[in-house]
Amino acid sequence: MKISIIVPVYKDKKNLDLFLNKIYFQTNKSYELILIVDTNIDNVLSVIDSYKEKFKSKLKLIFNTKRISRISAINMGISIANGDYSIINSIQNNFNNKLIEEILFIVSNHKSDVIEFKCSFSKPFKFNGKIRKTFKERTYIEKHPEIHAFSYPFDFNKIYKTEVLKITKKFTFPVQDNSRYSIEINYKALLVSKTYSTVDKTLIISNGTISQNFNPLKLIRQWESMIHSLDKNRNDIEISRYIYAQYFFEVVFMTAIVCLSKNKTLIKKFDDKFKKQEEKHFKDLFQDNRYANMNSEEKNILFKKINTSIWKKSKIYKEVG
C-alpha cells in the first residue's frame, strides 16, 4: 500500500525546506510526494533540486508558470496520484516522522473512503478540536447523513481514498479558494464517498498566518456559492446539513481569525456580513435545524474551544452566545 502526499507550493522556501526534510525522514517510505509549484517567485525550485537525489522516483513535480488557485493545483496533483490513499498537506503544517506509518496503520484497519482525524491548529490561533461526531468503525454515509454536518470543513485532517478524489475532479462547485481552507474538497469527497470513519488522534497540525491572501468575507461568499449550488439538486433537509456546517465554520474559525487580525475595519465588515447571514440562515438555527438539535451540547462545545476574550471583541459573540 502507498500514500500520495499532495502539496501545493507557492513561495516560502524556508518552510518548504523544513517540510521536505520531515518527509524525507519518515520512518515508513511507502509514499509518493507530489509538489505542485506555482511560479518560482521565491526560488523554491532550488530547494526542491537539493532534494531530488534524496527522493529519487518518490518525488513528482508539477510546475506552473503562473499563479493558479489552490483547488486547481490540488486537482492537478490528484490527476497524477498513484497511491491507494492520499492526504493533502501544506508546507507550513507540523507532523512527526511517523506520519506515513500511522496513516498506513489507520487505513489498514478502517478501509473507509474518507477517514477523519482530530482537527488541530497552532496558528493563527490554538484550537484542539475533538472529533465532532465519532464513527470508530467503517460507516455508510447514506445511513448517517449527519456526517456532512459534523465533519470539519478542511482537507488537511482527512485521509482520502485516491479513487474518491479522482471522482471529485469531475464535480465543480463555484468556489475557487486561494486560502489554505479548501472547504469544497471535503464536501465533494463526502458527496461521492460511500464510507466514512474517524480516528481520535492528531496527525497533522495546521500552522498558518493571517495574511493578505486570507479573505474572511470571500470565504463566506464561497460558502454561499457552494450551498446555492447544492440547493439546486437537494431538498431542505439535505441543505440543513451544510447550513449547520457553515455556521460552525463562520462562528468558530472566522470569528477567531478576524478578531486576531486586530483590523477594526475588517472586524466591522465581518460583523455586518455575519449579521446578514444570521438573519438569513442562522436566526432560528438551534430551534429548527435538525443537525443543531441532534447534539444539545454542541453549542456549548463550540464556545468553549476558543478563548472567549477573543470572541468578545466581536458583536457575533453577543448575537450567537
pLDDT 10s digits, 67-111: 888 888 999 999 999 999 999 999 999 999 999 999 999 999 999
- Supply the pLDDT for residue 312: 61
Chain centroid to CA 54: 29
Cα distance between residue 270 and residue 128, in whole Å: 24
Mean pLDDT, the chain, as a whole number?
85
- Give residue for cell 468558530: 252
Query: What percentage of the chain exceeds 90 in pLDDT?
Result: 48
In contact, 22 and 204? CB cutoff 8 Å: no
Q: What share of the chain is helix, strand, coil (3-state, %, to 5)?
A: 50, 15, 35
The yes-or-no verdict on residue 321 having pLDDT over 50 is no
Strand partners, 63: 37
Cα distance between residue 161 and residue 158, in whole Å: 10
Q: Is 11 left (phi over 0), alpha (psi -120 to 50) or beta?
A: left
User: Edge-to-edge strand order for the sheet containing 119-123?
Assistant: 127-129, 119-123, 205-207
- The grid coordinates of residue 84 equal 491507494
- Which of these, 253, 293, 290, 303, lies nearest to 274 by C-alpha position? 253
Q: How large is the angle between the packed helices 183-192 and 70-80, nearest 10 degrees?
A: 40
Length of the chain: 321
- Whole-prediction pTM: 0.90
- The grid coordinates of residue 174 equal 463555484
- Supply the pLDDT for residue 69: 82
Q: What is the pLDDT of residues 181-202, one digit of tens each?
A: 778 889 989 999 999 999 999 9
Q: What is the DSSP string of 139-197?
A: EEGGG-THHHHHS-S-STTEEEEHHHHHHHTT---S----SS--HHHHHHHHHH-SEEE
The pLDDT confidence band at residue 51, using thresholds 50, 70 and 90, is: very high
